[in-house]
Each structure stands twice: as structure tokens, then as C-alpha cells.
């Protein structure tokens, strides 16, 4: 078995002795910073096996999706598993044993995703795509453009992405109304917390999904929810495609209840050839790229590197996942 101490329910591990054995199948270019941490021994294992029967580890660094050796690696004595990514919806939580901690790099992509969302909001209000010209124009027919000033940004989720977006939307004069699992006050001054989803839907000019994918959020935005939105709403999804009922969204776009859907996530990814979202005039579709920025992958790894130091010092870990809630 591994040599790390037992983990408390609060995510505060016991002090551990070096070297700390970190098992991973992630490519070397993604893990070079990990091996440089003092007191850490990085052990590369093949994702498809075979693994030695006597393999021992303390920590397991994995990708967002399961691989054939996942269960065997989890039984190698590891007490802490970190997901190289900001979500856990692709990880087989049911394979975890009692006492094993699960973390992810939650919040590492908050800033670039928030910037992407603001770009879609500005493009919608200023009609950037619709007002491009390729020939002389009639000044008498100039369209009236919108503004962010005084508009309501409705956030479903107030985690790392939601906080980063709220902090950047408020200087534009936007009112920020957020819905969170527990209706406690926001950490961001000036952000209002909605009492329920219905309140948020009725008031949002720009409705942004930034919540985790769980059983409770599956098809959260379906026919009932879309029937309650403010007419002409701009809908943005940077969460997961499973949160949205695509058929219901298409109907809402066709009848004008939703003016535009800016989607960086879909289910599945990529969408099959010929899918209606590729050509619908009310959809702006990007290939799950909103997280991208210079050194984006380094930021994701940095969370794990910090956590390694926390773990060896017996300190609480960042990005701790509530396995009961699923995120």
C-alpha cells in the first residue's frame, strides 16, 4: 500500500513522508513541472496497461476521462486523486474507496472563460457580425446598437467562472444576478443572489450557464425553463452540453424567445456532421475553446503543484470535490 497518511473528510491529509509517489499516464510535456517538485517521485504508467501487480503510489494524476487501468491504479494505495481539468463529470466517482480524496483544477480557467463570455455579450449587443460591411452603406439605415449598461447578467453558477465573470461585467455597468446551490451571499460585492431559477430566468438579458454537470443539473434548461425566460434573451453555455435540452432550445430559438445562443459546449462533442446547430442562424458555436489562453495548461497544472505542497504539509487541498454532490 502507499505510504501517505489517511485523509480527513475535510480534505486535510496527514503529514506524509518523502518521496511522494505520483502515478500518472499524462504526457511528459504536461507533467514536467510535477516532477520538479522537491520530495516528489513521478512514475509514468501506461494508460492501457499492463500494470505491475505490486505497483504502489500515494497520489494519482489523471485526465478528465477514464482509461482501462483506472480501477487498478485506484487500488494501488493512492489516497488522493487529482483530475487534470476543471470538471469531474467524466471521472468514475463510483470507483473511489472510502477515504480517498478527489480534487480538480477548478477555477484555473475562470479568467479566459469569463473573457470569452463577455466577448459574446459585446458581440450580441453591438451586432458585430450583423453590421460588417463589404460595400458602400446607406447612413440613413444604420442599425441601433445595444449596450451592456443597465443590462442584467444572469449567472447559473457562482464558482470560479461565475466570480471571474461577475467581476468583469460590473465595470460595464451590468447588474449581476446569480443562482447558486446554497443561497448564501456572494463573495463579489454588488452581486445579487436569486431566490430560485425562475427569478433568474425572468430577469436575465444575458443568461449564462456556468454550473457543473451533475444528475441534478441534467437538462436544467429545458422546455419549462425556456418558457420562463425574458423574451429575446441571449443564452450562453460554457458549462456542459448535458445541462441543456437541445430540442427545447431549438424551439425557443425558432419562436424568438431566445434571440441568440452562444455555445462553447455541446452534447456530444463534437456534434455529428449535419447537426442543426452548425447552420442555425440563431446559434454561434465554438469548439469548446473558451478556456484557451497563453499558458492555459500551465495554470491547470499549477493547481496540482500547489496541492502537492499542501498535501505534503498536511494542509487543506484546493479544488476538493464533494463526491456526494458530484462536483
**Looking at the annotation, which residues are catalytic?**
240, 269, 288
Strand partners, 258: 233
Instruction: Give the separation between CA 174 and CA 49, rounded to whole angstroms.
Output: 52
SS3 176: strand
Return the ∠ at Cα 187 (arms to 323 and 231), rounded to 5°: 90
Nine cell digits for residue 102: 478527489
Nine cell digits for residue 21: 509517489
Instruction: Give the separation between CA 53 and CA 47, rounded to whole angstroms.
Output: 15
Nine cell digits for residue 300: 491547470
Instruction: Give the separation between CA 164 and CA 292, rounded to whole angstroms.
Output: 15
SS3 40: strand
Any idea what DSSP says for residue 159?
S
Answer whether 241's CB lies under 8 Å from 272's CB: no
| Helix (H) / strand (E) containing 303 | helix 296-312
Amino acid at each position: 500500500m502507499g505510504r501517505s497518511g489517511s485523509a480527513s473528510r475535510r480534505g486535510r491529509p496527514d503529514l506524509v513522508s518523502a518521496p511522494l509517489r505520483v502515478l500518472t499516464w499524462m504526457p511528459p510535456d504536461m507533467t514536467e513541472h510535477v516532477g520538479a517538485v522537491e520530495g516528489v517521485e513521478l512514475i509514468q504508467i501506461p494508460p492501457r496497461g499492463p500494470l505491475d501487480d505490486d505497483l504502489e503510489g500515494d497520489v494519482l494524476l489523471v485526465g478528465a476521462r477514464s482509461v482501462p487501468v483506472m480501477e487498478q491504479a485506484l487500488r494501488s494505495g493512492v489516497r488522493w486523486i487529482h483530475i487534470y481539468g476543471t470538471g469531474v463529470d467524466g471521472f468514475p466517482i463510483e470507483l473511489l474507496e472510502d477515504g480517498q480524496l478527489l480534487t480538480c483544477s477548478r477555477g484555473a480557467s475562470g479568467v479566459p472563460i469569463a473573457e470569452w463570455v463577455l466577448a459574446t455579450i459585446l458581440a450580441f449587443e453591438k451586432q458585430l457580425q450583423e453590421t460588417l460591411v463589404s460595400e458602400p452603406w446607406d447612413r440613413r439605415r444604420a442599425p441601433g446598437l445595444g449596450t451592456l449598461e443597465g443590462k442584467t447578467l444572469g449567472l447559473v453558477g457562482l464558482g470560479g467562472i461565475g466570480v471571474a465573470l461577475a467581476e468583469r461585467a460590473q465595470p460595464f455597468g451590468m447588474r449581476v444576478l446569480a443562482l447558486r446551490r446554497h443561497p448564501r451571499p456572494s463573495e463579489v460585492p454588488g452581486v445579487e443572489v436569486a431566490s430560485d431559477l425562475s427569478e433568474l430566468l425572468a430577469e436575465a438579458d444575458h443568461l449564462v450557464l456556468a454550473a457543473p454537470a451533475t444528475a441534478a443539473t441534467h437538462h436544467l434548461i429545458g422546455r419549462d425553463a425556456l418558457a420562463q425566460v425574458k423574451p429575446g434573451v441571449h443564452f450562453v453555455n460554457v458549462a456542459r452540453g448535458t445541462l441543456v435540452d437541445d430540442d427545447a432550445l431549438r424551439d425557443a430559438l425558432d419562436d424568438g424567445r431566445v434571440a441568440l445562443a452562444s455555445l462553447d459546449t455541446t452534447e456530444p462533442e463534437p456534434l455529428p456532421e449535419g447537426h442543426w446547430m452548425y447552420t442555425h442562424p440563431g446559434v454561434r458555436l465554438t469548439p469548446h475553446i473558451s478556456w484557451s489562453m497563453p499558458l492555459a495548461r500551465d495554470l491547470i497544472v499549477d493547481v496540482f503543484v500547489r496541492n502537492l505542497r499542501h498535501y505534503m504539509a498536511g494542509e487543506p487541498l484546493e479544488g476538493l470535490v464533494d463526491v456526494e454532490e458530484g462536483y
